[in-house]
């Protein structure tokens, strides 16, 4: 294969791996407004414009298609759900939901809060809903809602349809259809979603386009340990099932001259 594909450090350090680890990612990955970052809560500036979000279509029960794309597990959300509010400049259509994780409880999230990493981080990726085909490489093309995931001893019923689908998509480029589920049941309760951090950054995967309005919620999602462990147990990075999928986490990036805000 000519162009080496991008991958995470855990894959790049494998003998005979020909993929490009995070240090070699190209595109905009070496620019200065990158993600993820460590959020220092005492330096986050209160912003009264950061109102609660409104979630539209997040309560629709659907049989989502979910895939192993070789980097993560990704639920394809199509164009039914969208968000507004949260000081966003427009409505943003939900495109896909995916996660980042490790096998340990304290190193699977991409963002960290006061230096603390969580077991997983869930990203709900949205695109600005514009009618015209206005230049879409703008700084606010994407809005990602990021949720930290903690491990506890309670089953999270809302996550079961996703967890049960994992064994059907263990190798890259496989899809399956989940049992009926609704996005709302995968999120913390709405009233807990008023507190969040906000900053401008990038995709955490190549080409690391600096087009993302990031929202990192304070309230974590809680999964049972067995649900959490299924991700690194059932999923693989490669067809030969030689490397289980975990540590699909980009290293922290410099905040530089950016300000983090808080609601
Ligand atoms: N597994 C893959 N994830 C992406 C992707 C696309 C858009 C975005 Cl915004 C992100 S992230 N991690 O910044 O939320 C990831 C492509 S391939
Ligand atoms: Zn992500």
Residues 200-237: tens digit of each pLDDT: 999 999 999 999 999 999 999 999 999 999 999 999 99
Answer yes or no: is the C-beta of 68 below 6 A from any ligand 1 atom.
no
Average pLDDT value over all residues in the chain: 96
| ipTM of this complex | 0.98
Question: Which mutation among 25, 123, 199, 252 tests ligand 1's pocket best, with the greatest number of atoms within 8 A of CB?
Answer: 123
Q: Grade residue 199 by pLDDT with cuts at 50, 70 and 90.
A: very high
263/259 Cα distance (integer angstroms): 13
pLDDT of residue 129: 87
Q: What is the pTM of this model?
A: 0.97
18 DSSP 8-state letter: -
| Dihedral Cα 162, 227, 204, 90, nearest 10 deg | 50
pLDDT over 70 (residue 136): no
Q: Grade residue 133 by pLDDT with cuts at 50, 70 and 90.
A: low
Question: Which mutation among 93, 98, 145 tests ligand 1's pocket best, with the greatest number of atoms within 8 A of CB?
Answer: 98
51 DSSP 8-state letter: P
pLDDT of residue 3: 67
Residues 6+ apart with CB under 8 A from 197: 39, 41, 44, 113, 214, 215, 216, 218, 260, 261, 262
From the CA of 73, the nearest ligand is 1
What percentage of the chain has pLDDT greater than the value 70? 96
Which of 128-142, 153-167, 171-185, 237-251 bottoms out in mean pLDDT, i.e. has the lowest? 128-142
């Amino acid at each position: 294969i000519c162009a080496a594909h991008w991958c995470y450090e855990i894959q790049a350090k494998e003998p005979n791996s020909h993929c490009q680890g995070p240090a070699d990612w190209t595109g905009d990955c070496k620019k200065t407004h990158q993600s993820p970052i460590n959020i220092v809560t005492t330096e986050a500036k209160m912003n009264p414009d950061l109102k609660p979000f409104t979630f539209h279509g997040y309560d629709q029960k659907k049989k989502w298609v979910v895939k192993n794309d070789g980097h993560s597990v990704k639920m394809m959300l199509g164009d039914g759900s969208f968000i507004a509010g949260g000081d966003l400049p427009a409505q943003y259509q939900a495109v896909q939901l995916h996660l980042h994780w490790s096998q340990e409880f304290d190193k699977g999230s991409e963002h960290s809060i006061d230096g603390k990493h969580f077991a997983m981080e869930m990203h709900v990726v949205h695109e600005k809903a514009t009618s015209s085909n206005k230049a879409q490489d703008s700084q606010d093309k994407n809005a990602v809602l990021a949720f930290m995931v903690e491990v506890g001893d309670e089953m999270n019923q809302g996550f079961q349809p996703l967890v049960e689908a994992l064994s059907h998509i263990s190798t890259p480029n496989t899809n399956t259809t989940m049992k009926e589920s609704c996005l709302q049941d995968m999120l913390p309760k709405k009233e807990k979603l008023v507190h969040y951090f906000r900053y401008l950054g990038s995709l955490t995967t190549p080409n690391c386009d600096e087009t993302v309005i990031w929202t990192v919620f304070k309230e974590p999602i809680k999964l049972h340990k067995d649900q959490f462990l299924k991700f690194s147990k059932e999923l693989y990075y490669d067809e030969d099932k030689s490397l289980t999928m975990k540590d699909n986490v980009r290293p922290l990036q410099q905040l530089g001259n950016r300000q983090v805000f808080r609601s």
